[in-house]
């Protein structure tokens, strides 16, 4: 199996899929038709939830014949006892159900988003339906074929369900997925770069990555990066890129923006130590594109001394919540009275929104420069303005 795993190559394919058939065909030729075919099938498999298929009478093989520029590229998916493999079917594979598709149309369907018009014309050959044995093969394969093709149809899935399927703790131990869905749904079909700090599983190399898989599925056109101090290379898959590094190291954290940016979404689910949370925000919030979102999870540690928190002085700026509370006044920096008091801090001019929920905050990046209210409005309280003056002020 050879798929496009490099971020730059995947970005080329994703971007071209929304641009039109000619752009897709050019990208396929440049990247290699066989690699693109494998990439698209891999993506359909990752969206198919084949683990939810009930018991089957035997193994199932689905062969995709993908037509491009006069060639047919064959790619098989084998499903046996809950295990999936794709690539060459192998000599022991069951007789395949054949699905014929156009490679360009499939790329548009998988990565083009809902605004990219496409006609995914398909032909399915279930075998000799007059032969009872072959007919039963087709019947057994039907739910597998349906789920694989659903991966090209872009059917949305609820984020809480994706959290459960992929083993993310964002629904269950926490109840963050409704909050995420509220803020992330408008961005779902966009071409995005997402970074999550903290992959999970602690030092165990094979554990963690559930949230990365969840984001990959929820955002079908996104590249997802996970950062963890432990080696989590086992979590790598198409469109998911683990990075190892210490999130308490200013040099490493400071270099992430240049390495991965510009960014669209950052999710801090790392150590939750207050100093690390503040360090990451200083480094990565400026790297967000306008309209980007920065999420900080598990803010309860702001009150726990073992994480650098403080439950006595709730305005301690060295804690996560104390730091964030300071940012809130910056939303209105243009209204601050007093000589020199309206001079913006580093974040005042780029933070345009902040949403706080139980143990989680969502901050919006933009350009905070609407301008202050007119000076005459704030010269004295409205209660001290006479009736005639009030008419003048409100006219």
Taking a C-beta distance cutoff of 8 angstroms, is the pair 190, 221 a contact? Answer: yes
Average confidence (pLDDT) over 106-111: 93
Angle at 288 between CA 355 and CA 303, to 5 degrees: 45
Q: Is the peptide bond before 262 cis (omega within 30 degrees of 0)?
A: yes
Kind plus residue range of the DSSP H or E element containing 73: strand 71-80
Comparing 281 with 330, which gets the higher pLDDT? Answer: 281
Over residues 178-206, mean pLDDT: 94
Check whether 389 has a pLDDT greater than 70: no
- In angstroms, the CA 112 to CA 106 distance is 9
> Does position 334 have pLDDT exceeding 90, yes or no?
no
Please report, rounded to a whole number, the percentage of residues in the chain having pLDDT higher than 90.
Answer: 59
Lowest mean pLDDT among 53-62, 327-336, 363-372: 53-62
Q: Band the pLDDT of 209: cuts 50, 70, 90.
A: very high
Helix axes 21-31, 7-17, angle to 10 degrees: 160
pLDDT at 339: 44
How far is residue 272's CA from residue 374's CA, in Å, rounded to a whole number? 42
Give residue 151's pLDDT.
79
Round to whole Å and give the CA distance between 136 and 153.
26
* Assigned token pair, 151: 């991966």
Kindly list the strands in the beta sheet with 60-68, ordered across the sheet, starting from the edge strand earlier in the chain: 83-87, 71-80, 60-68, 97-102, 123-125
Chain centre to alpha carbon of residue 168: 13
Residue 378 has pLDDT above 80, yes or no: no
Are 189 and 172 contacting, i.e. CB atoms less than 8 angstroms apart? no
Of residues 346 and 254, the one with the higher pLDDT is 254
Which pTM was predicted?
A: 0.88
Query: Strand 240-244 to strand 222-228: parallel, antiparallel, or no bridges (unpaired)?
Result: parallel
What residues act catalytically? Answer: 272
To the nearest whole number, what is the mean pLDDT of the chain?
A: 87
Residue 90 has pLDDT above 60, yes or no: no
CATH class of 159-365: alpha beta
The answer on pLDDT for 105 being more than 50 is yes
Determine the average pLDDT of the residues in 162-191.
92
Please give the pLDDT value at position 395: 46
Q: Quickly state the pLDDT bin for 211 (edges 50, 70, 90).
A: very high
What confidence tens digit (pLDDT) does each residue in 24-45 have? 999 999 999 999 999 999 999 9
Among 102-116, 136-150, 183-197, 237-251, the least confident range:
136-150
Answer whether 192's CB lies under 8 Å from 219's CB: yes
Q: Nearest 5°: phi and psi at 324?
A: -70, -35
Give 9 or 335, the one with higher predicted confidence: 9
Paired tokens of 339: 């000589």
Handedness of CA 253, 254, 257, 259 (dihedral sign): negative
> Using CA atoms, how far apart are residues 285 and 327, in angstroms rounded to an integer?
12
Domain boundaries, the chain: 7-153, 159-365
pLDDT > 70: percent of the chain: 85
pLDDT tens-digit readout, 41-89: 999 999 988 888 877 777 888 999 999 999 999 998 888 766 777 776 5
Residue with the larger pLDDT of the pair 7 and 374: 7
Tens of pLDDT, residues 216-251: 999 999 999 999 999 999 999 999 999 999 999 999
Bridge-based pairing of strands 351-357 and 222-228 is: unpaired
Tell me, which fold does domain 7-153 have in CATH? Nonspecific Lipid-transfer Protein; Chain A (3.30.1050)
């Amino acid at each position: 199996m050879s798929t496009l795993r490099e971020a730059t190559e995947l970005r080329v394919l994703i971007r071209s899929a929304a641009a039109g058939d000619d752009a897709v065909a050019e990208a396929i030729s440049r990247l290699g038709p066989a690699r693109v075919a494998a990439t698209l099938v891999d993506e359909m498999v990752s969206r198919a939830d084949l683990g939810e298929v009930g018991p089957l009478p035997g193994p199932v093989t689905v062969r995709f014949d993908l037509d491009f520029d006069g060639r047919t590229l064959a790619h098989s998916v084998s499903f046996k006892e809950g295990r999936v493999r794709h690539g060459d079917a192998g000599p022991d594979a069951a007789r395949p159900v054949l699905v014929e598709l156009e490679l360009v149309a499939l790329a548009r369907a998988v990565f083009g988003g809902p605004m990219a018009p496409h006609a995914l014309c398909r032909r399915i050959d279930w075998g000799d339906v007059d032969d009872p044995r072959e007919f039963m093969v087709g019947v057994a394969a039907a739910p597998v074929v349906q789920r694989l093709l659903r991966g090209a149809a872009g059917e949305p899935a609820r984020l809480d369900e994706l959290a459960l399927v992929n083993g993310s703790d964002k629904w269950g131990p926490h109840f963050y997925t409704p909050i995420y869905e509220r803020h992330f749904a408008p961005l779902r079909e966009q071409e995005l770069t997402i970074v999550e700090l903290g992959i999970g599983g602690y030092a165990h190399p094979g554990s963690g990555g559930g949230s990365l898989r969840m984001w990959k599925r929820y955002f079908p056109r996104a590249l997802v990066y996970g950062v963890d101090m432990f080696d989590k290379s086992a979590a790598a898959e198409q469109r998911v890129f683990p990075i190892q590094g210490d999130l308490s190291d200013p040099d490493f954290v400071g270099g992430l923006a240049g390495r991965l940016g510009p960014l669209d979404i950052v999710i801090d689910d790392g150590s939750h130590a207050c100093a690390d949370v503040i360090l990451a925000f200083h480094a990565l919030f400026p790297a967000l594109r306008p309209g980007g979102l920065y999420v900080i999870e598990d803010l309860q540690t702001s009150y726990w001394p073992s994480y650098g928190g403080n439950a006595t002085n709730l305005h301690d700026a060295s804690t996560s919540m104390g730091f964030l509370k300071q940012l809130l006044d910056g939303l209105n920096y243009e209204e601050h009275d007093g000589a020199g008091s309206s001079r913006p801090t580093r974040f005042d001019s780029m933070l345009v929104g902040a949403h706080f929920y139980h143990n989680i905050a969502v901050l919006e990046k933009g350009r905070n420069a609407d301008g202050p209210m007119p000076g005459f409005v704030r010269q004295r309280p409205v209660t001290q303005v006479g009736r005639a003056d009030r008419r003048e002020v409100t006219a």
